[in-house]
Structure 1
Amino acid sequence: MIATLIKKELIRLLKDKGTVFWLILLPIFFIFIFGLIFQDRDYSFEVHYTDLDQSVASKQFIQSVSGIKGIDLKAETEIEDSKERIETGKIRTYFVIPQGFESDLKDEKSIKIDFFYDGTQNAGQVVEPVRAVLNSVVATYQDKKIEGFVKAQFPQDEALAKQVLTAPIELQMNEIQVKKVNTITTIIPGYTVMFSFFSIIILAQVFLKEHESGMLSRLLSTPMKRTQYLIGMWIPFVGMVLVQIAVLFGFGYLVYDLKLGDIPAIIVLSIALSFAVNALGLLITFLSKNENIAIAATQVIALGGAALGGLWFPIDLMPETVQKIAVFVPQYWAQKGYVDIFSRGAQLGDIIPSVIVLLSLAVVCFVGALASYKYYLKDAKH
């Protein structure tokens, strides 16, 4: 009897165009749009400048700046026009090499390079890296000046001069090869997890429709047990979310070359997520007096959890307070598990914490749903 009910619900879900739209087509649309917006590319900072000196030394300075990776220099001729463009937000940074740069450099005079920048708060992420680059280039000239002075003071003692010039602290660079990480490894699981929670709306609509139409009362008048009805109606939704996850990850694999990583880990985590989502869906459905309340509650949980759980933005970029709150959101644990699998090569043993949290939520919600089930049945229309 349970198998018959499961088959009936699966057929109904597959025929429902809304199911395909909400769980497959809409998330694919979001993945495609945000994949275009945040596609991986080499980022560079555009820096505008004017060289009033036009000397060998000034050109060497410009070459030193342009030789740094990520800096794209743009020559300008009009100083006031460039400053006005900063005021209007058309450019962010601009510096001016003064006339007499080379002669002052030879005479060891102090040289002032004017650096103009957008002072608005949201421009800081562009301004600060450029400021750091210019300071580092200026520092090399200072180092050369110090080196010349020290060697002049100790012309006969190279060892002492070398000792004085040796930096007391050296930054040792050690590159560690990790699995390639790109925006797709966060966008695809992020929107997959988010839209898996929207399946609760479909679950609520099906259960409440049978509750209000009298179908539930007619079914329960047959030899079917109440637990058989619950399980037979619930299992198809668990399978539906698993199919949704498989389709979206398959889309990512075929279109964006998503590196899936450990398949057993993905399967176990997906099952845990599906159980958690659908157990929560049952609880929301049985506690809701009508479909509108169930939909509203689902939207708050799905969108609020997506924002707090790092589905839209990497959790590391969020305020510390939000990061602390995120651990209480199921979306965070699902996203963390998937991202670890895709980007860091995590295997089943590495994602156990995520699985435990999701299954614990599933158990708590299912127990709560069972406790509310009798009221759902009691109020069913005949």
Structure 2
Amino acid sequence: MWAVAKMEAKKQLQDRSLIFWTVILPIVFIVGFMFIFGNDVPDKQVVVNQIITGFSVFFSVFIIISIVISFVKDREKGLIARLASTPLSITRFFLGKLMPFTVIVFVQVIILTVFGIFVYGLELLNPLLYFGLALCLAIMVTSWGVAISVFSQTENTGLVFTQIIAFAGAILGGLWMPFEFLPEAVQSVGKFLPHYWTHQSLISAVSEGGSDVSLGMTFMLLGIYTAVGLLFAFMGYQRFLRQAKS
């Protein structure tokens, strides 16, 4: 397991495009949205809280692209077939692949948060809650990434699913604008998504008024979505293995 994790971490650290997806692009979006919506507003802090937390959730999903690319390349190069011939269990294989990506997403949230603190005055009123949510979010999106990877024929599949999950979640979950401004029908759908619950709970950790969502419900839903992602990953592994080149 640790050998798989070490190998995956080394591959990701050598991938320069990862910096673009996880750091540069999110910061560009944050700066752009703050320039458009952050000027001449009665309470700029509300806008800061909305945008920093919203884009932290939004861009965490983009790690799925890197996960799918990694799995597809390993399958095509015969690495998956070689690992399958070793005593390494499926569970330990998945954990080894998951850990580096989970760390990447968690670090991404930290970087965006620090950027928000120093550039826009974001205040972390409850750091333990904030980063606890960030860790659970990272675990959840990486579990989705593994689930999508074992069913993906090509790398483009990961790009398509990432865009669907990211943009649908952003629109329905209120990541780009206050959730209460959305139409009632959209709100009804959005409340079934982890994007909404995670975002609202993150806002609770950076603002005194916070949000009225249940933190217990948020952590429970993140756990459920993580379990569903891992379940699909295990279900699709044998099919994925049959496609692996020896």
Normalised to the residue count of structure 2, the TM-score between the two structures is 0.93
Deviations 1:263-297 (A, max 9, x none): 11012211211121111111111122222222211
Partner of 1:302: 166
Contact 1:14 1:20 in 2 (8 A): no
1:194 paired residue among 58, 64, 78:
58
Partner of 1:11: 10
Contact 1:283 1:366 in 2 (8 A): yes
Alignment of 1:291-330 (within 5 A): 291-330=155-194
Runs (5+) with no aligned partner, structure 2: none
1:381 matches 2:231: no
Partner Cα separation in structure 2 for residue 280 and residue 214 of structure 1: 23
Give how far 1:234 is off. Answer: 1.3
Partner of 2:148: 284
What code does the residue aligned with 1:339 have?
I
Partner Cα separation in structure 2 for residue 370 and residue 32 of structure 1: 40
Count, aligned residues: 245
2:124 paired residue among 256, 260, 280:
260
Alignment of 1:35-184 (within 5 A): 35-42=34-41, 181-184=45-48
Partner Cα separation in structure 1 for residue 241 and residue 125 of structure 2: 44
Give how far 1:380 is off. Answer: 0.7
Contact 2:45 2:122 in 1 (8 A): no
Give how far 1:344 is off. Answer: 2.9
Runs (5+) with no aligned partner, structure 1: 44-178
Partner of 1:67: none
Contact 1:309 1:326 in 2 (8 A): yes
Q: Secondary structure at the match of 2:46?
A: coil
RMSD between aligned residues? 2.0
Partner Cα separation in structure 2 for residue 275 and residue 231 of structure 1: 11
Partner Cα separation in structure 2 for residue 354 and residue 193 of structure 1: 13
Give how far 1:359 is off. Answer: 1.3
Partner Cα separation in structure 2 for residue 182 and residue 266 of structure 1: 17
Partner Cα separation in structure 2 for residue 369 and residue 256 of structure 1: 39
Judging by fraction of residues, say which structure has more helix. Answer: 2
Contact 2:48 2:122 in 1 (8 A): yes
What code does the residue aligned with 2:38 have?
Q
Deviations 1:3-48 (A, max 9, x none): 22212221221221111110111001100111111114256xxxxx
Give how far 1:235 is off. Answer: 1.1
Partner of 1:334: 198
Give how far 1:255 is off. Answer: 1.0
Deviations 1:43-74 (A, max 9, x none): 6xxxxxxxxxxxxxxxxxxxxxxxxxxxxxxx
1:368 matches 2:232: yes
Give how far 1:223 is off. Answer: 4.1
Contact 1:275 1:359 in 2 (8 A): no
Identity %: 34
What code does the residue aligned with 2:205 have?
I
Give how far 1:346 is off. Answer: 5.4
Partner of 1:130: none
Query: Which entry has the higher C-alpha Rg, 1 or 2?
Result: 1
Partner Cα separation in structure 1 for residue 135 and residue 58 of structure 2: 15
What code does the residue aligned with 1:284 have?
I
1:27 matches 2:37: no
Deviations 1:175-203 (A, max 9, x none): xxxx9842010001111111100110111
Q: 1:187 to 1:356 in 2, by over 3 A?
A: same
What code does the residue aligned with 1:12 have?
K
Contact 2:61 2:162 in 1 (8 A): yes
